[in-house]
Amino acid sequence: MSRPVKIAPSILSADFARLGDEVRAITEAGADYVHVDVMDGHFVPNLTIGPLVVKALRAYSDLPFDVHLMIQPVDPFVEAFAEAGADIISFHPEAGPHPHRTVQLIKSLGKKAGLVLNPATPVEAVEYLLGDIDLILVMSVNPGFGGQGFISSQLDKIARLRRMIDDSGREIELEVDGGINTRTAPQAIAAGADVLVAGTATFAGGPTAYGANIRTLRGD
């Protein structure tokens, strides 16, 4: 496989009682990103963590923090997460309400900008932002909870986005989040994914298993 695959463990599936240690453990196990799912109980039906937790975790890893904002409205919170230590900030176009403005805000803070597509969000949502974004995140489950099953219709979306990115000539990472495991990871990679977000599949078995879990998902 010519395209290297990155693994971004979602700390949503980590042991929250020892979150700092978990972030250190996945870093030492060979993860590429630390994926942080931020949910507001409004845009999605769950509550998770805020900027203070991201800031506290920053000391436990030098990996890029890949922060997925499932919050609405999103703009008022972008700066706080940037200051807390996020390296990549991704948001949903539905949470804007002006996605181009949100992308420009993220970039103005010196961070990489990502756009997130829910299962029913069409690929056309990214078309006029390809010149500005650094990452596209395809949700292969409906956002809000960990441990859901992979929605196979998203494989076609991943493939279409792969072609759009390649045709653009830009270095845009294509990330997939939701239901990633030893069965679905190869499917997502074959469709064109660069980055796999994996919560349950990474954190299964405790810290001594994290390295093997990550290597298996990557296809090493």
Question: Where is the binding site for a divalent metal cation, in residues?
Answer: 35, 37, 68, 177
Specify whether the CB–CB gap between 86 and 63 falls below 8 A. Answer: no
Residue 33 tokens, joined: 């990103």
Q: Please state, in angstroms and rounded to a whole number, the distance separating the CA atoms of residues 41 and 160.
A: 31
Annotated binding site: 10, 35, 37, 68, 144-147, 177-179, 199-200
Show Cβ contacts of residue 13 under 8 Å, excluding neighbours closer than 6 positions.
146, 147, 199, 200, 202, 203
Angle at 61 between CA 58 and CA 67, to 5 degrees: 60
Catalytic pick among 32, 37, 40, 66: 37
Going by the annotation, the residues of the binding site for substrate are: 10, 68, 144-147, 177-179, 199-200
For residue 157, the tally of other CB atoms under 10 A from its CB is 22
Q: Is 37 a catalytic residue?
A: yes
194 is catalytic: no
Q: Of 32, 66, 75, 177, which residue is the catalytic one?
A: 177
In the numeric block, the tokens 């078995």 are attached to 205
Let me know: does 180 contact 198? Beta carbons within 8 Å. Answer: yes
List, by residue number, the catalytic residues. Answer: 37, 177
